[in-house]
Protein backbone atom coordinates (compact mmCIF):
# COMPACT_ATOMS: atom_id res chain seq x y z
CA UNK A 1 0.00 0.00 0.00
CA UNK A 2 1.22 3.51 -0.77
CA UNK A 3 2.11 6.07 1.89
CA UNK A 4 -0.57 8.62 0.97
CA UNK A 5 -4.25 8.43 0.31
CA UNK A 6 -3.85 10.24 -3.02
CA UNK A 7 -1.11 9.86 -5.61
CA UNK A 8 -1.25 13.59 -6.34
CA UNK A 9 -3.08 16.58 -4.96
CA UNK A 10 -3.79 19.76 -6.96
CA UNK A 11 -4.49 22.80 -4.80
CA UNK A 12 -5.88 25.89 -6.56
CA UNK A 13 -5.85 29.17 -4.65
CA UNK A 14 -9.29 30.77 -4.53
CA UNK A 15 -8.34 33.69 -2.31
CA UNK A 16 -10.22 36.93 -2.96
CA UNK A 17 -9.55 40.36 -1.48
CA UNK A 18 -12.13 43.13 -1.52
CA UNK A 19 -9.62 45.84 -0.63
CA UNK A 20 -8.02 45.91 -4.09
CA UNK A 21 -4.87 44.01 -3.18
CA UNK A 22 -3.86 41.35 -5.67
CA UNK A 23 -5.25 37.88 -5.01
CA UNK A 24 -5.57 34.80 -7.19
CA UNK A 25 -9.35 34.86 -7.49
CA UNK A 26 -10.12 38.58 -7.64
CA UNK A 27 -11.35 38.18 -11.22
CA UNK A 28 -13.20 34.91 -10.55
CA UNK A 29 -10.96 33.01 -12.99
CA UNK A 30 -9.42 30.74 -10.35
CA UNK A 31 -12.84 29.59 -9.14
CA UNK A 32 -13.90 28.82 -12.70
CA UNK A 33 -10.65 26.91 -13.32
CA UNK A 34 -11.02 24.93 -10.07
CA UNK A 35 -14.39 23.60 -11.27
CA UNK A 36 -12.97 22.87 -14.72
CA UNK A 37 -9.96 20.99 -13.29
CA UNK A 38 -12.12 18.86 -11.03
CA UNK A 39 -14.62 18.09 -13.79
CA UNK A 40 -11.83 17.23 -16.23
CA UNK A 41 -10.07 14.93 -13.74
CA UNK A 42 -13.38 13.14 -13.13
CA UNK A 43 -14.02 12.83 -16.88
CA UNK A 44 -10.57 11.26 -17.28
CA UNK A 45 -11.40 8.80 -14.49
CA UNK A 46 -8.45 9.85 -12.33
CA UNK A 47 -10.23 11.76 -9.53
CA UNK A 48 -10.87 9.78 -6.39
CA UNK A 49 -9.43 7.62 -3.64
CA UNK A 50 -5.87 6.44 -4.29
CA UNK A 51 -5.73 8.52 -7.48
CA UNK A 52 -5.74 12.32 -7.59
CA UNK A 53 -7.67 15.03 -5.82
CA UNK A 54 -8.42 18.58 -6.94
CA UNK A 55 -8.91 20.95 -4.00
CA UNK A 56 -9.66 24.61 -3.50
CA UNK A 57 -7.56 26.42 -0.93
CA UNK A 58 -6.96 29.83 0.52
CA UNK A 59 -3.92 32.01 0.02
CA UNK A 60 -0.75 30.17 -0.96
CA UNK A 61 1.39 33.30 -0.51
CA UNK A 62 2.38 33.80 -4.16
CA UNK A 63 -0.23 36.42 -5.03
CA UNK A 64 2.00 38.39 -7.42
CA UNK A 65 2.35 35.30 -9.63
CA UNK A 66 -1.32 34.37 -9.55
CA UNK A 67 -3.52 32.78 -10.17
CA UNK A 68 -1.51 29.91 -8.72
CA UNK A 69 -1.85 26.20 -8.13
CA UNK A 70 0.48 23.60 -6.67
CA UNK A 71 0.73 19.84 -7.14
CA UNK A 72 1.87 17.66 -4.26
CA UNK A 73 3.76 15.53 -3.40
CA UNK A 74 6.13 16.98 -6.02
CA UNK A 75 5.58 20.60 -4.87
CA UNK A 76 5.39 21.87 -8.45
CA UNK A 77 3.95 25.39 -8.65
CA UNK A 78 1.91 26.63 -11.60
CA UNK A 79 0.20 29.68 -12.94
CA UNK A 80 -2.49 29.54 -15.62
CA UNK A 81 -4.49 31.88 -17.82
CA UNK A 82 -7.27 29.72 -19.27
CA UNK A 83 -8.95 26.35 -19.48
CA UNK A 84 -6.40 24.98 -21.94
CA UNK A 85 -3.64 25.55 -19.36
CA UNK A 86 -5.63 23.83 -16.61
CA UNK A 87 -6.58 20.88 -18.80
CA UNK A 88 -2.89 20.48 -19.70
CA UNK A 89 -1.90 20.41 -16.01
CA UNK A 90 -4.57 17.81 -15.27
CA UNK A 91 -3.66 15.59 -18.23
CA UNK A 92 0.11 15.93 -18.22
CA UNK A 93 0.92 16.20 -14.51
CA UNK A 94 -1.98 14.64 -12.64
CA UNK A 95 -2.70 11.83 -15.08
CA UNK A 96 0.67 11.21 -16.75
CA UNK A 97 3.06 12.37 -14.02
CA UNK A 98 4.85 14.83 -16.33
CA UNK A 99 5.04 18.42 -15.00
CA UNK A 100 4.13 21.18 -17.48
CA UNK A 101 7.33 23.22 -17.67
CA UNK A 102 5.87 26.19 -19.57
CA UNK A 103 3.37 26.90 -16.77
CA UNK A 104 5.70 26.45 -13.80
CA UNK A 105 6.60 29.34 -11.52
CATH of the domain at 49: 3.40.30.10
Domain span at 82: 8-103
Answer whether residue 3 is part of any domain.
no
Q: Tell me how many degrees the CA angle 71-76-79 measures, rounded to the nearest 5.
A: 85
Among residues 83, 12, 2, which one has the least CA distance to residue 53? 12
Answer whether residue 67 is part of any domain.
yes
Indicate whether 4 pLDDT > 80: no
Task: Tell me how many domains the chain contains.
Answer: 1
Answer whether residue 1 is part of any domain.
no
Indicate whether 105 pLDDT > 90: yes
Q: pTM score > 0.75 for this model?
A: yes
Residue 52 and residue 46 in contact, taking contact as beta carbons nearer than 8 Å: yes
Answer whether residue 34 is part of any domain.
yes
Amino acid sequence: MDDGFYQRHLFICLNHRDNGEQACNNSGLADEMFHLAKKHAKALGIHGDHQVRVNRCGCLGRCQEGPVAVVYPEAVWYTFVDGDDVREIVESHLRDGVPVKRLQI
